[in-house]
Amino acid sequence: MIKKNMQAGELKLRKNAVLAIGMIVGLGIAVFACVLAYSGTFKRKPDIILITCDALRADHLGCYGYKRMTSPVIDRLASDGALFLNCFSTSCSTLHAIPALISGRYLAVSELDVFNGESCNIIDGKFTLLAEYLRKSGYQTAAFVCNDFVRQGTGFEHGFDVFKMCVGSSGTVTDKIIDFLNRYNRAKPYFIWVHYCDTHVPYFSPAEFSAVFKNDRFYNENNAVLAVDLVPRGTYPKDGSISRKAFHKGEFSSNYYTALYDAAIRHNDSQIGRLLTHVDDNTVIIVTADHGESLGEHNKYFHHISMYDEVLRIPLIIRDNGYFKGGKKIPVLVSSVDIVPTILNRINPFWYFFVKNRFDGIDLARAAGSPPNRKYIYSYFPGIRCIRDVKKNIKYMIFPDDKEALYRIPDEENNLINDDSLRDEKQELKRSLRAWLKEYPVNVDGNRRKCALDEQAQENLRSMGYIQ
């Protein structure tokens, strides 16, 4: 009898235990489902367009305070979205800047003689790029790029279902995107990367735009008369000179070219406007650049090989109705390496939470709230390395001959490297840069091989002045 009672008691206990475990598991599943639902995992993900404009400076856009009306469309995006006032590129050239911009990591290519056709397999397949992440998340992915440094076969195309090289102005590029959108079946959300080249030398815009700022009331301000440097194409002109690739016959005035540059922005802006009429208002739009451009600062004209801020400071505007509060101006210093983490956290926060350490960049939604816990951001180019203290806004650079420079931003005229009052800051920046350089940037072209540039690629590089 006692034994029977004990067995019944044991059975009851077991039942209760099973019930309790069941409840705990059920509760766990419910919490997990709530977290997923809250994080938007089950929602249709937003369409995303990432617009990079080659050599577009932030400070020549209206929303960054520029005197000319170069960018009414981009300005409107900025007033509807988030405007990052201080975004810096990881490099001063397309080839070295885009890898970080589309990977969220400090990736770089090593020094390549791209002009002789050694630019194949630049990005090894083992490095995951934004389009690959998005494709895995259910996106259809398409790229429309104008610069041959990122053409098909260089690895930049990894993860894209459609990858088109577009020769010509932003009008031609936009035609191709609109054609894609017209045929798009909308079964999946899309991710489009467009890289425009209007603002890269030779600053192209059609006739109705090219003269729009010529002889306006700013046209004669701070003009300089330039020499023409007959350097071979593909190299950069001496200070105070304009290169042969940028030179227009009989035009020696620096303001002539700056007006052309501004006109190219205005034209590109109008094409972004045309593109926007084909996408719905909930599409996430990101406008940025690979790097800026020297327009006379530091006596450098119409190229972008330097680490001064006219070249490193780029626009960053994110119009995203579901995420960033409209009209927000964010002063904290951020980097183009932050763009990928921001997009990935936006579309899949639950997943991102567990993988965020894969990235060197940070999610900028945090920067929009409180300043991120980050001390430095970095930029690099073969030969020039740069570290910036984001709180003190001091910048240290080191060159191949071990020449150094230290600037208290925004003043980049006075090199403070021998200023004793900044000795501690200098030592700290130098030490931190050295520590960073032990691991970064990671060269991603581990699988280099020679490959011939086809005729189209040669023509494109010729039109941008890179080869003879």
Q: Which two tokens stand for residue 274?
A: 């045309």
Residue nearest to Zn ion (CB): 94
Tell me the one-letter amino acid at 38: Y
Name the segment binding Zn ion (CB under 5 A); options: 25-33, 116-124, 178-186, 289-297. Answer: 289-297
CB of 56 vs Zn ion, minimal distance in Å? 9
Which lies closer to Zn ion via its Cβ, residue 57 or residue 105?
57
Which lies closer to Zn ion via its Cβ, residue 157 or residue 290?
290
Name the segment binding Zn ion (CB under 5 A); options: 86-94, 163-171, 173-181, 434-442. Answer: 86-94
- Measure the CA–CA gap between 350 and 352, rounded to whole angstroms: 5
Classify the C-alpha dihedral 87-170-148-210 as positive or negative.
negative
CB of 214 vs Zn ion, minimal distance in Å? 25
Name the segment binding Zn ion (CB under 5 A); options: 21-29, 87-95, 202-210, 337-345. Answer: 87-95
Which lies closer to Zn ion via its Cβ, residue 94 or residue 243?
94
CB of 454 vs Zn ion, minimal distance in Å? 21
Question: Does residue 1 sit in helix, strand or coil?
Answer: coil
Beta strands at 227-229 and 241-243: parallel, antiparallel or unpaired: parallel
Whether the upstream peptide bond of residue 441 has omega within 30° of 0, thus cis, is yes
Q: Which of residues 328-347 bind Zn ion (CB under 5 A)?
A: none
For residue 50, what are the β-bridge partners?
Answer: 193, 286
Does residue 290 bind Zn ion (CB under 5 A)?
Answer: yes
Beta strands at 190-196 and 140-145: parallel, antiparallel or unpaired: parallel
Residues whose CB falls within 8 Å of the CB of residue 14, separated by 6 or more in sequence, listed in order: none
Residues whose CB falls within 8 Å of the CB of residue 264, separated by 6 or more in sequence, listed in order: 198, 199, 203, 204, 205, 209
Q: Which two tokens stand for residue 220?
A: 């004669």
Which lies closer to Zn ion via its Cβ, residue 94 or residue 460?
94
Q: Which two tokens stand for residue 287?
A: 């406008």
102 to 141: interface string for Zn ion, x by CB under 5 A: ----------------------------------------
Which lies closer to Zn ion via its Cβ, residue 86 or residue 288?
288
Which lies closer to Zn ion via its Cβ, residue 200 or residue 346?
200
| Residue 30 φ/ψ region, left for φ over 0, alpha for ψ in the -120 to 50 degree band, beta for the rest | alpha
Which lies closer to Zn ion via its Cβ, residue 289 or residue 362?
289
CB of 201 vs Zn ion, minimal distance in Å? 10
- For residues 191 and 133, the answer to whether their CB atoms sit within 8 Å is no
CB of 112 vs Zn ion, minimal distance in Å? 15
- Measure the CA–CA gap between 132 and 44, rounded to whole angstroms: 18
| Residue 155 φ/ψ region, left for φ over 0, alpha for ψ in the -120 to 50 degree band, beta for the rest | left
Which lies closer to Zn ion via its Cβ, residue 55 or residue 453?
55
Does residue 52 bind Zn ion (CB under 5 A)?
Answer: no
Instruction: Identify the residue whose tokens are 């501004």.
Output: 262
CA distance to 53, 96, 294, per residue, from 303 (Å): 15, 15, 6
Phi, psi of 126 (to 5 degrees): -75, -10
Name the segment binding Zn ion (CB under 5 A); options: 92-100, 113-121, 215-223, 401-409. Answer: 92-100
- For residues 286 and 318, the answer to whether their CB atoms sit within 8 Å is yes
Beta strands at 48-53 and 190-196: parallel, antiparallel or unpaired: parallel
CB of 52 vs Zn ion, minimal distance in Å? 8
Which lies closer to Zn ion via its Cβ, residue 71 or residue 94?
94
- Measure the CA–CA gap between 317 and 20, rounded to whole angstroms: 51
Among residues 48, 52, 53, 54, the one that binds Zn ion under rule CB under 5 A: 54
Name the segment binding Zn ion (CB under 5 A); options: 16-24, 52-60, 217-225, 313-321. Answer: 52-60
Name the segment binding Zn ion (CB under 5 A); options: 15-23, 88-96, 272-280, 458-466. Answer: 88-96
Q: How many residues bind Zn ion (CB under 5 A)?
A: 3
CB of 444 vs Zn ion, minimal distance in Å? 17
Phi, psi of 367 (to 5 degrees): -65, -30
CB of 294 vs Zn ion, minimal distance in Å? 13
Name the segment binding Zn ion (CB under 5 A); options: 51-59, 190-198, 374-382, 409-417. Answer: 51-59
CB of 315 vs Zn ion, minimal distance in Å? 14
Does residue 94 bind Zn ion (CB under 5 A)?
Answer: yes
Binding residues vs Zn ion (CB under 5 A):
54, 94, 290
